[in-house]
Amino acid sequence: MTELTIVQAVNLTLFEEMRRNKDILVLGEDIGRNGGVFRATEGLIDEFGMNRIIDTPLNESGIIGFAIGLGLYGLKPVAEIQFADFIWPAADQMVSELAKFRYRTGGEYSCPVVVRAPYGGGIKGSHYHSQSIEAFFVHNAGIKVVIPSNPYDTKGLLTSALREPDPVLFLEPKSIYRAFKQEVPEGDYTVPIGKAAIPREGTDVTIIAYGAMIPVCLEAANICQEEHNISCEIVDLRTLMPYDLEAIEKSVKKTGRVVVVYEAPKTLGYGAEISATIAEKFIEYLESPILRVAGMDTPFPFTLEMDYLPDPYKVTEAVIKSYKF
């Protein structure tokens, strides 16, 4: 076991999987000698060389298009988009091409591309370096969407993504890239895509979240327990598409109260889909309305960043409201 941050877990996983699978290569902006803007690819070029660690022009559409071609020819490309906010020039490639190959060929061809991108706020990056894009790509069928919340899951989920036969969008919560360390096994292990985790068990209120919101929710759960005697269970989705409906069902039936937390704008955010599904399938088990704690319906701000983002006190307020309904 070794203690790693999330970004170190990304780096270690790329090293281990590139040694295991000679068909894996990484491409993106400044990922070679520079090691990436967050240093997630640091050192890879020294071991694997310029044929497998490819510095690209500032052209997101080209990065994804090139990765699609490599994937169709049997390689395993890992395309890094420097910030998730920059992915939009590549959206047509991802939605119209990458997500559709298995379907349009009747299962004859897959396109096993992994797209990595840091997402979300919390680093004072303002509106071009802070957005949460997950709902758009969940909505467009054909791409699995994965978001870890800790170093252990980062390594296990990224390993699974790198062994997937189909496209995976692997979004990394950059605000907690180096926020804490966790013991991570040095050997081979995977965390299955499509399975949620329960980082905290409880009986009164279910909090559903993912990525950088998990530490926020854990702190809120502590406040609720210590100051209000409310027991919160936290469901860390880990995979947004396909998500673990069974884990959600089990927790909702246990507590009867649900708060969904995400940092994207509230309207039509990913949490709206989770809320709607719970209302459709499990409404008879609910003791109070489903509540959402999310970002605001505005462009991401700079000076008011922490007012925009969910925090433990906003989550606590929602939990109390749900519990006392």
Catalytic sites, residue numbers: 129
Neighbouring CB atoms inside 10 A of 165's CB total 9
CA distance 151 to 8: 8
Q: Tell me the three state secondary structure of residue 136.
A: helix
Q: What is the DSSP letter of 33?
A: T
Q: Tell me the three state secondary structure of residue 26.
A: strand
Q: Is the separation of the CB atoms in 174 and 239 below 8 Å?
A: no
| Angle of helix 6-20 versus helix 151-162 axis, rounded to 10 | 30
Neighbouring CB atoms inside 10 A of 19's CB total 11
Neighbouring CB atoms inside 10 A of 34's CB total 13
